[in-house]
A and B are shown apart, each in its own frame.
Chain A
Amino acid sequence: MLELYGTELSSRLLLGTAQYPSPAILADAVKASGTSVVTVSLRREMAGGRAGEQFWSLIRSLGARILPNTAGCLSVKEAVTTAKMAREVFGTNWIKLEVIGNHDTLQPDVFGLVEAARILCEDGFAVFPYTTDDLIVAERLLAAGCKVLMPWCAPIGSALGPINIMALRSMRGYFPGVPLIVDAGLGRPSHAATVMELGFDAVLLNTAVAKAAYPVGMARAFGKAVEAGREAHASGLLEPRDVAVPSTPTIGRAVLS
């Protein structure tokens, strides 16, 4: 079973809650995926508004664990304050830490990320850092106190899937005991299965489900793919070979010509 910061989770799929066609479809997709963790965010509330209350009420009814994020934060200060505000509202010390370095690529500012991670870990947060596949940055994040790493496999929302398999494989091999969650860039269930086959512990995705023609079906498909990939990894995959190898025994083959 997947254990993150001392909490055991029944599912290895973490699901975002944004961009769904309706709250009802979001709720159905969460249930169909089998996820036990959903990501949420904080945004400005209008004077007299109750949008936040309605959403919060919906999320609580799903029964999933909450992973608030610091999406859109461009500085250490913004990310740290947002994390503290999220802790107060959502009542959890879990935080998906994003410090964005570039508006177009949405790639993490890894220097700010490490600094923010250190501040938040010292303050008692369980930090889930959205990072790149760089091994040295990953080492710095672990030194800062992170117990989980969340590398991208492609830019956020791109649906490109794992574009650097070698880097992901290296990361898995380099940090054998650290829970690794692929966050961002997954587009298809087969992408999720691929990274799970590599030995990643879980995946976090949003757009690929929310923007599918039928989000509930896609959520279910991703849930199955994650389970299939995990079981395949645990069962020992056959390594590719350069030559053909007959699967039917050749001993005892009749000579009929």
Chain B
Amino acid sequence: MKLMVNGEAREIAATTLAELLAALDYEGDWLATAVNGDLVHKANRTEFQLSDGDRIEILSPMQGG
């Protein structure tokens, strides 16, 4: 499946958001995820089905003003 992950084109076999995070070695409870501009709650990642062309954002805490 072709996906855009944090702005980069990726070809990944994962079918759910949780599988995608595992495939890319993301782990930890400090991450926030969005698909196509909308938040996907941590609790919903396992059942969230990805589709070809989805845009995924994976964010974490960062310095800010």
Give the number of chain A interface residues (Cβ < 8 Å): 39
Query: With A53-B28, A89-B31 in contact, is A45–B60 under 8 Å at CB?
Result: yes
Which of A41, A77, A88 has a CB less than 8 Å from the CB of B62? Answer: A41
Query: With A47-B25, A56-B30 in contact, is A88–B65 under 8 Å at CB?
Result: no
Q: Is B11's CB within 8 Å of the partner chain A?
A: no
Please, which residue of chain B has its CB at the minimum distance from the CB of A82?
B59
Which of A16, A47, A52 has a CB less than 8 Å from the CB of B61? Answer: A52
Q: Is A19's CB within 8 Å of the partner chain B?
A: yes
Question: Do the beta carbons of B37 and A81 come within 8 Å of each other?
Answer: yes
Question: Do the beta carbons of B31 and A69 come within 8 Å of each other?
Answer: no
Question: Do the beta carbons of B61 and A56 come within 8 Å of each other?
Answer: yes
Question: Do the beta carbons of B63 and A19 come within 8 Å of each other?
Answer: yes
Chain A 141-152 near chain B by CB (<8 Å), digits 1 or 0 = 000000000000
Question: Do the beta carbons of B60 and A56 come within 8 Å of each other?
Answer: yes
Task: Give B35-65 interface residues, CB cut-off 8 Å to A.
Answer: 37-39, 41-42, 57-65
Question: Do the beta carbons of B59 and A42 come within 8 Å of each other?
Answer: yes
Query: With A47-B24, A81-B39 in contact, is A90–B61 under 8 Å at CB?
Result: yes
Which A residues lie within 8 Å of B64 (CB)? Answer: 16-18, 39-42, 68-69, 71
Chain A 27-51 near chain B by CB (<8 Å), digits 1 or 0 = 0000000000001111111111111
Q: Is A174's CB within 8 Å of the partner chain B?
A: no
Q: Is B32's CB within 8 Å of the partner chain A?
A: yes
Please, which residue of chain B has its CB at the minimum distance from the CB of A75?
B37
Question: Do the beta carbons of A43 and B59 come within 8 Å of each other?
Answer: yes
Query: With A42-B32, A47-B26, A56-B60 in contact, is A85–B39 under 8 Å at CB?
Result: yes
Q: Is B34's CB within 8 Å of the partner chain A?
A: yes
Query: With A77-B37, A84-B39, A85-B34 in contact, is A43–B60 under 8 Å at CB?
Result: yes
Please, which residue of chain A has its CB at the minimum distance from the CB of B36?
A81
A interface residues with partner B (beta carbon < 8 Å): 16-20, 26, 39-53, 55-56, 59, 68-69, 71, 77-78, 81, 84-86, 88-90, 156, 206-207
Give the top 4 A-B pairs by smallest Cβ distance, nearest first: A52-B60, A41-B64, A16-B65, A206-B65
